Copies of this chain bind each other. A is one copy, B any other.
Amino acid sequence: MTQGKHPFMTHHLNRGAGLALFFLLALVRADIVSAADPLPSWNKGPTKEAILRFVTQVTKKGGPDYVPPGERIAVFDNDGTLWSEQPMYVQLAFALDRVRQLAPQHPEWKITPPFKAVLEGDLAALQATGMQGLVELIMASHAGMTTEAFEGIVRDWLATERHPKYNRPYTELVYQPMLEVLAYLRANGFKTYIVSGGGVEFMRPWVEKVYGIPPEQVIGSRIKVKYSTESGQPELIRLPEMDFIDDKAGKPVGIHQLIGRRPIAAFGNSDGDFEMLEWTTAGPHPGLGVIVHHDDAERETAYDRQSSFGKLDRGLDEAAKRGWVMISQQKDWKTMFPAPHKPR
């Protein structure tokens, strides 16, 4: 018998055996595909294992913790959990730009806080105006137009603006490992929702393309809108009045208003997400609570207890005793952001 001419390979491969081999290879290949790592940007370790274990646990048919697909609701904070919130919330950068743009029509802003602070670029003075100042900025820059006009303004701004540090569109500064978690959960029958303190209408125009989450699965803060036919055609007009703030204890309320079911998995990064994780992990099903800890000063920004944006204090103290999973961006994530898109 000469090398390379094994009788099994050359002579015994009749039609039946060929078919059998074909199916065998098909099986092997299916096995390889299903064994492929669904979270390739995650380092091996207890964090990644906890996520994989939870999904296996609730999807195992006949298992004690099986959850039917319809009840597999997963909620994600946005700022600091799915995309970067440093050096400031993207929506705040948008609001500041809007104020600068609208200033010529509002000469009184030159002497009125918080607008004066914005126009003078005095971020300290702006922060001194507190929540009241921020709400005034949002009302002045986000209201007084139709919902469709506002959507266009958001789209245009995001298409042209670049992050000051990375010089990339904000919508590219999303966390690659979290994109993988979203896709992995959906592949396992989960419905993925955003539950953000940010404005819902600031997110809906772009989240489907970026996260694969359709507009109807976005929960956020909102201002009032009014239905009107005064212009001769039906319109929804954005009013300068807050309707709902989707933050802290508001998050479980927002989830209840829009979904009406308790989630079984919640991902956040700040104390604004505390109650959402608490509500999610106190249900009748096993609940997964996950916190993204921003501890990577090199690839992003390291911040937690003292940060103006995305402050994480109580969550750091209580995560372990509540059985929540703490992601270390530095240790758990191989990659931070997706590779830059090819230049257009």
Instruction: State the A residues within 8 Å of B (CB).
Output: 70, 73, 147, 191, 200-201, 204, 208, 214-216, 218, 222, 225-227, 229, 233-234, 236, 243, 249-250, 252-253, 256-261, 275, 278-279, 282
Contacts and interface: CB of A to CB of B under 8 A. Distances in A.
A214 B204 CA distance: 21
Contact of A252 (B236, B249, B259): B236
Contact of A259 (B191, B215, B253, B260): B215
A120 B236 CA distance: 44
Given A204-B260, A216-B261, A258-B258, A249 B222 contact: no
Given A278-B229, A279-B234, A282-B233, A222 B147 contact: no
A253 B226 contact: yes
A216 to B, nearest CB: 5
22 contacts: A70-B208, A70-B214, A191-B216, A201-B260, A215-B259, A215-B260, A216-B259, A216-B260, A216-B261, A222-B257, A225-B253, A225-B256, A227-B249, A227-B250, A227-B253, A227-B279, A229-B278, A233-B282, A234-B282, A236-B253, A243-B257, A257-B258
Nearest to A248: B227
A202 to B, nearest CB: 12
Contacts of A278: 229, 234
Copies of the chain in the assembly:
2
Contact of A260 (B218, B243, B252, B275): B218
Contact of A147 (B191, B201, B227, B256): B256
Contact of A200 (B260, B261, B275): B260
Contacts of A249: 226-227
Question: Interface on chain A toward B: helix, strand, loop, or mixed SS?
Answer: mixed
A307 B286 CA distance: 49
Contacts of A214: 70
A191 B217 CA distance: 13
B256 A236 contact: yes
Contacts of A253: 225-227, 236
Contacts of A236: 252-253, 256
Nearest to A284: B148
A245 to B, nearest CB: 13
Contacts of A243: 257
Contacts of A233: 282
Nearest to A205: B260
A163 to B, nearest CB: 26
Given A218-B260, A227-B252, 15 more contacts: A70-B208, A70-B214, A73-B216, A201-B260, A215-B260, A216-B260, A225-B256, A225-B257, A227-B249, A227-B275, A229-B278, A236-B252, A243-B257, A257-B258, A258-B258
Given A225-B253, A256-B147, A215 B279 contact: no
